[in-house]
Chain A
């Protein structure tokens, strides 16, 4: 029998959820608000919340100073292709771990995830030297490869979790009907896992979009994505807070819009199997 929830408790829960949501969203809201202030208003103490002379001046300056579209295009290509490539590699890997596990499968999964704990700066020089040798410094190809590798453990882990939810008997039936391994993965497993693959794609696209260490260190003028665009407005000597906020807002806007459209998939993806 389902537990009854009183309307008062519902109200408290809703209020709490809104409060937590607002606290989490506040830095983004503050960045957006600051982007419409003058530099003097941006640093005012006490801070000004809503009642200031709204201006688009910062956006005009950022637009004039930087080639925003070039940074944006690089971000789209690098985040998009690295995520797609990662999923293409991870689907067969996750399939084998979910449906033909060995006794070391769990250890391999954990080991893959543990590579995320390695401080990136520890391998900066080796990777930089490899990139010089291969001639892929400051290229989209180089960043696609690195970001794909960086996010691969998460992609494999997420897909593995989804695939584990799919009954193995269905795949077995497909095999008995004569499906090859390729057909089994492409035409039976993948369609059933579309929601899971979609949320994996989305989450990893966001991770790749936001990645700042490699994208700053392996690029110069050609392949720099929006993370470099933001970094160009940060300064320890001079007040650029309003302009920095305008640049940040422009950098996060596409991903915010994408996140808005896909919030259900994201939540579903992140909570999948959580109550098992």
Chain B
């Protein structure tokens, strides 16, 4: 009897599914685009029909979580799988993949596209040997977002370019454990793109570096000890509980609920903390990421960009899409429909010459932050790598993931900072030797 019931249920369920299934119309030229799930990318997907209407080229989106996407597109491009016509990749992958010949050079984009309008910092990070391999859809740096009301209540005034000592002092002054307010919220979560990116950008401002000019690991230096100790001491005193596992989303959630005095993170977060979901939208100020008086700020540089894998059979159609999605017309279309605050930021110089956009509260600070990051000269001493919060070598992602795990363990109190740094030094040295550096 129960078997019958089960079969009846299963048959009914399957029948329903079959009945509701709909066919997908075939198109002559269809581009398959792998992309990440974030606000700007989802917005672009919503406008895809406009592109198809203009060009007759259909678009299929494969949207994946950032880390899944990295693994997925890396597998495909290294095996020449040809599953995607366009890939959304970042500043880390682009120069490496470009050097390997895995990407189609974007050196023949049309005159109307005006490739010279791409912000030089972005173009530089997305090129190899002077050739552009990916077009930036949006770019970001990092900056301080802070509560103007709490800062005022603490009797302090945020300088345009504060030092780390000021941040620690302000964080302590703003912290009110009874009211559940943490002076400062920062990424401590393991992962090279999470806490690893933050601590690396911070280390630049302390004069630390991942490698010296001969590719020797540098975690045994005083600069690194100062960086990690400062971070841990400040977060222990003024950060939220469990900060060792907080990433972008956790801190965004805390800030939007009024539980952070300051948050140092991606410039794209500015539109979130001043948006409808934020309870503190009316009292948010912005400042450059902190420095330590050594001439380097603790801000990173990143871009999500569109690139064409060398294995595609539809390079021309793919270039058409890239010109449409990363061109100025797209920005104007989004501005006309959704307002200037919602256009993809940080990619084009002309956007920052537009008075309409410069009226957006975070526009100038975003530009200043992007301009103050230098991927070829990220820290005080010279380095053999390119990249601000990463070193653009294939081995980095694996090494930095492990190193950031050791740092997170130190933040959580599972080991001392000295132990974490010693392990980081050993991990990095071993991996670099194995890689033949």
Minimum CB–CB distance from B159 to chain A (whole Å) comes to 28
Q: In the complex the two chains form, is A40's CB within 8 Å of B277's CB?
A: yes
Q: Interface stretch among B34-42, B203-211, B222-230, B320-328?
A: B34-42
- Over the window 402-436 of chain B, the binary record of Cβ atoms lying under 8 Å from chain A Cβ atoms (1 yes, 0 no) is 00000000000000000000000000000000000
Closest A residue to B60 by beta carbon equals A221
Of listed B2, B80, B272, residue having the most chain A CB within 10 A: B2
Say if the beta carbon of A195 comes within 8 Å of chain B.
yes
Give the CA-CA distance A194 to B3 in the complex, in Å.
9
Minimum CB–CB distance from A82 to chain B (whole Å) comes to 15
Describe A's contact surface by its main secondary structure: helix
Q: Interface stretch among B6-14, B121-129, B282-290, B377-385?
A: B6-14
Give the CA-CA distance A239 to B247 in the complex, in Å.
12
Give the CA-CA distance A257 to B71 in the complex, in Å.
33
- Over the window 230-268 of chain A, the binary record of Cβ atoms lying under 8 Å from chain B Cβ atoms (1 yes, 0 no) is 011111111110000000000000100110111011000
Chain B 170-223 residues near chain A, CB threshold 8 A: 193-194
Give the CA-CA distance A143 to B17 in the complex, in Å.
20
Measured between beta carbons, the chain A residues less than 8 angstroms from B116 are none
Given contacts A125-B75, A236-B65, A254 and B13 within 8 Å (CB-CB): yes
Q: List 16 A-B contacts (CB under 8 A).
A: A45-B254, A65-B46, A69-B21, A69-B22, A132-B79, A220-B62, A232-B37, A235-B249, A236-B65, A237-B266, A237-B268, A238-B252, A238-B272, A240-B37, A261-B5, A262-B10
Chain B 51-110 residues near chain A, CB threshold 8 A: 60-68, 71-72, 75-76, 79-84
- Over the window 54-90 of chain A, the binary record of Cβ atoms lying under 8 Å from chain B Cβ atoms (1 yes, 0 no) is 0000000000010101101100100010000000000
Give the CA-CA distance A65 to B231 in the complex, in Å.
40
Give the CA-CA distance A194 to B60 in the complex, in Å.
43
Q: In the complex the two chains form, is B9's CB within 8 Å of A258's CB?
A: yes
Closest A residue to B189 by beta carbon equals A236
Minimum CB–CB distance from A209 to chain B (whole Å) comes to 12
Give the CA-CA distance A240 to B9 in the complex, in Å.
33
Measured between beta carbons, the chain B residues less than 8 angstroms from A72 are 17, 21
Q: In the complex the two chains form, is A39's CB within 8 Å of B79's CB?
A: no
Say if the beta carbon of B259 comes within 8 Å of chain A.
yes
Given contacts A128-B79, A265-B2, A231 and B20 within 8 Å (CB-CB): no
Contacts A43-B256, A132-B79 aside, 20 further interface pairs with beta carbons under 8 A come to A45-B259, A70-B24, A128-B75, A132-B81, A137-B81, A195-B3, A198-B6, A216-B72, A221-B61, A228-B64, A232-B65, A234-B65, A237-B266, A239-B249, A258-B9, A258-B10, A261-B5, A261-B10, A262-B9, A264-B2
Chain A-chain B contacts (Cβ-Cβ < 8 Å), number: 137
Number of residues from A at the complex interface, CB < 8 A: 49
Q: In the complex the two chains form, is B75's CB within 8 Å of A235's CB?
A: no
Closest A residue to B84 by beta carbon equals A220
Q: In the complex the two chains form, is B249's CB within 8 Å of A220's CB?
A: no
Partner of A224, one of B10, B20, B22, B62: B62
Q: In the complex the two chains form, is A217's CB within 8 Å of B193's CB?
A: no
Say if the beta carbon of A193 comes within 8 Å of chain B.
no
Say if the beta carbon of A129 comes within 8 Å of chain B.
yes
Say if the beta carbon of A124 comes within 8 Å of chain B.
yes
Minimum CB–CB distance from A250 to chain B (whole Å) comes to 12
Measured between beta carbons, the chain B residues less than 8 angstroms from A132 are 79-82
Measured between beta carbons, the chain B residues less than 8 angstroms from A128 are 75-76, 79, 81
Give the CA-CA distance A235 to B268 in the complex, in Å.
14
